Amino acid sequence: MPDSARTTTGFDLDAYLDRIGWEGKRLAVDVDTLSGVQLAHVRAVPFENLDALTGTAPSLELADLMAKLVHGRRRGGYCYEHNTLFAAALEALGFRVTRLNARVVVGADRFEDRPRTHMALLVEIPGDPRPYLADVGFGAVGSLLEPVPLTADTEFHDAGRRHRLVHVPHRGPLEMWVLEAYRQASTGGWEAQYAFTVEPFEPSDYEMINWHIATNPRSPFSRRPYVQRLMPDRHVLLDGDRVIETRDDGTVTERKLTDEAEARRVLEADFGIDVPGGLTLLG
């Protein structure tokens, strides 16, 4: 791969690949590389909203994302950070990427009641007529672990999880797609995760949404810690003062943290995150 293809402004592909543990593996503009890089990313870099707890919107500049999520090693980020970084990596590898914006609809009675606050990606692969939905930044146990083709009513198995895409009616001119996850433990069936159309969104759009999610006092991300990490055999979530562990067999356990010191120990030991100085986790 020529050096010119391995970097973009503020982005270092080699450092990114090292961060996700990709050293020495084959790279090509194909579905195997796309799937492998996505899975490696979600296993290596945790989801977290600690910057928003300080009332600060995290920077989406690539140089800042490299410093925090790649070179920092002991931090993560939320969807705009993860998928902005992931999109830069894919483009450096030679993929064509469209940035999307989705409505998170887990538990929603009406999809239209949820604003578009989630960044996802649509990725094109040369020679494949189907684009792929790719996403490393959905902070939920129903998140994609590998990309899935943009094909309706077909079940996909991604690294042990089950997903499908369906169409739902809406008033706009473009088809509305919904990503569903099979959630035996919670719903006993298919559970809608997020809804989207395929028009592209620009960095300026995410700057505005990022600021709103991080600083709006009504945003859940500005009010309590929300951190997740994918382990080889389980998904671990810190939601406020609760640690929820979901194993691959569907077993769910939950415990409540007792104090601030325990919360910091859990983040550092179990999630691999260094908590910024002066931040109070449990208000």
Catalytic residues: 79, 118, 135
Whose tokens are 């120990």? That residue is 265
Tokens coding 61: 């500049």
Q: What b/e readout covers 72-94, taking b as 16+ CB neighbours within 10 angstroms?
A: eeebbbbbbbbbbbbbbbbbbbe
d(CA 245, CA 250): 10
Report CA torsion sign: 184, 190, 195, 197: positive
Q: Are 281 and 275 in contact (CB under 8 A)?
A: yes
Q: Residue 257 in contact with residue 266, Cβ under 8 Å?
A: yes
Token pair in block for residue 5: 């293809």
What is the Cα–Cα distance from 250 to 16, expressed in whole angstroms?
A: 32
Q: Looking at 231-277, which runs of residues are DSSP E strands? A: 234-239, 242-247, 252-256
| Contact indicator for 132, 123 with CB cutoff of 8 Å | yes
Length of the chain: 283
Structure tokens at 160: 């042990």
Question: Whole-angstrom Cα distance, residue 53 to residue 5?
Answer: 37
In the chain, the amino acid numbered 57 is A
